[in-house]
Structure 1
Amino acid sequence: MSAASGLEATSATEAPALEVLEPGPLALVEDLGRPGFAHLGVAPSGALDRGALAFANRLVGKPADAAGLELLGGGFRARFTASRWFAVTGAWGAVRLDGRRIAPDAAAHADAGSILELGTPERGLRWYLAVRGGLDEQPVLGSRSTDTLAGLGPRPVAAGRVLRFGAEPEASVPAFDGAGAPPPDGPVTLALRPGPRAEWFTDASRQALFDATWRCSPAADRVGVRLDGVPIERRVDGELPSEGTVPGSIQVPPSGLPVILLADRPVTGGYPVIAVVAEASLDAVAQLRPGQPVRFRHA
Structure 2
Amino acid sequence: MAERSATRWLEVLATGPMVTVQDLGRPGRGDLGVGRSGAADQAAFRLANRLLANPEDAAALEVTLGGLQVRARGDLLVALSGAPCPATVADSAGRTRGAGHQAVEVLPDGATLRLGVPRRGLRTYVAVRGGLDVPMVLGSRATDVMAGLGPERPARGAMLPVGPPPARFPHVDLAPVTPFYAGEPVLDVLAGPRDDWFVPGALELLCSEPYEVTVDSNRVGMRLRGPGLARARDGELPPEGMVPGALQVPPSGQPTLFLADHPVTGGYPVIAVVRTPDVDRAAQVRPGQRVRFRLVRA
TM-score (norm: length of structure 1): 0.93
- Number of the residue aligned with 1:7: none
**Alpha-carbon distance in structure 1 between the residues aligned to 2:272 and 2:203:** 9
In the alignment, structure 1 residue 74 sits paired with structure 2 residue 66: yes
How far residue 14 of structure 1 moved from its aligned partner, in angstroms, is 8.3
- Number of the residue aligned with 1:277: 274
- Number of the residue aligned with 2:122: 125
How far residue 190 of structure 1 moved from its aligned partner, in angstroms, is 0.5
On the 8 A contact 1:92/1:182 being kept in 2, the answer is no
- Number of the residue aligned with 1:65: 57
User: Which range moves more in the overlay, 112-121 or 13-22?
Assistant: 13-22
Among 179, 184, 197, the residue aligned to 1:182: 179
Among 242, 246, 259, the residue aligned to 1:245: 242
**Alpha-carbon distance in structure 1 between the residues aligned to 2:205 and 2:248:** 15
In the alignment, structure 1 residue 163 sits paired with structure 2 residue 155: no
Written as runs of structure 1 = structure 2, the 5 A alignment for 1:32-111 is 32-98=24-90, 99-111=96-108
Among 91, 110, 113, the residue aligned to 1:113: 110
How far residue 176 of structure 1 moved from its aligned partner, in angstroms, is 3.0
How far residue 119 of structure 1 moved from its aligned partner, in angstroms, is 0.2
Among 205, 217, 222, the residue aligned to 1:225: 222
On the 8 A contact 1:19/1:163 being kept in 2, the answer is yes
- Number of the residue aligned with 1:289: 286
User: Which residue identity does 1:56 align to in structure 2?
Assistant: A
What do residues 13-71 of structure 1 show as CA deviations (whole Å, max 9, x unaligned)?
98210000001111111000000000100000000000111000011111111110001
User: Which residue identity does 1:231 align to in structure 2?
Assistant: G
How far residue 210 of structure 1 moved from its aligned partner, in angstroms, is 0.7
**Alpha-carbon distance in structure 2 between the residues aligned to 1:264 and 1:127:** 17
Among 201, 204, 211, the residue aligned to 2:201: 204
SS in 2 for 1:276: strand
Aligned length: 287
**Alpha-carbon distance in structure 1 between the residues aligned to 2:127 and 2:79:** 5
**Alpha-carbon distance in structure 2 between the residues aligned to 1:53 and 1:29:** 11
**Alpha-carbon distance in structure 2 between the residues aligned to 1:27 and 1:57:** 18
On the 8 A contact 1:91/1:182 being kept in 2, the answer is no
Question: What is the percentage of aligned positions where both structures have the same residue?
Answer: 46
Name the CA shift for 1:14/1:192 in 2 (closer, same or farther; >3 Å): closer
How far residue 238 of structure 1 moved from its aligned partner, in angstroms, is 1.2
In the alignment, structure 1 residue 173 sits paired with structure 2 residue 166: no
- Number of the residue aligned with 1:139: 136
In the alignment, structure 1 residue 151 sits paired with structure 2 residue 142: no
SS in 1 for 2:215: strand
SS in 2 for 1:191: strand
How far residue 177 of structure 1 moved from its aligned partner, in angstroms, is 5.1
**Alpha-carbon distance in structure 1 between the residues aligned to 2:51 and 2:258:** 29
Structure 2's unaligned 5+ residue stretches are: 91-95
On the 8 A contact 2:129/2:165 being kept in 1, the answer is yes
Name the CA shift for 1:201/1:14 in 2 (closer, same or farther; >3 Å): closer
What do residues 244-286 of structure 1 show as CA deviations (whole Å, max 9, x unaligned)?
1111110001111100011111100011000111101011111
SS in 2 for 1:287: coil
Structure 1's unaligned 5+ residue stretches are: 1-12
User: Which residue identity does 1:127 align to in structure 2?
Assistant: T
SS in 2 for 1:239: coil
**Alpha-carbon distance in structure 2 between the residues aligned to 1:155 and 1:76:** 16
**Alpha-carbon distance in structure 2 between the residues aligned to 1:14 and 1:142:** 20
User: Which residue identity does 2:239 align to in structure 1?
Assistant: S
TM-score (norm: length of structure 2): 0.94
What do residues 169-214 of structure 1 show as CA deviations (whole Å, max 9, x unaligned)?
1111222352231321221011101111000011222110111111
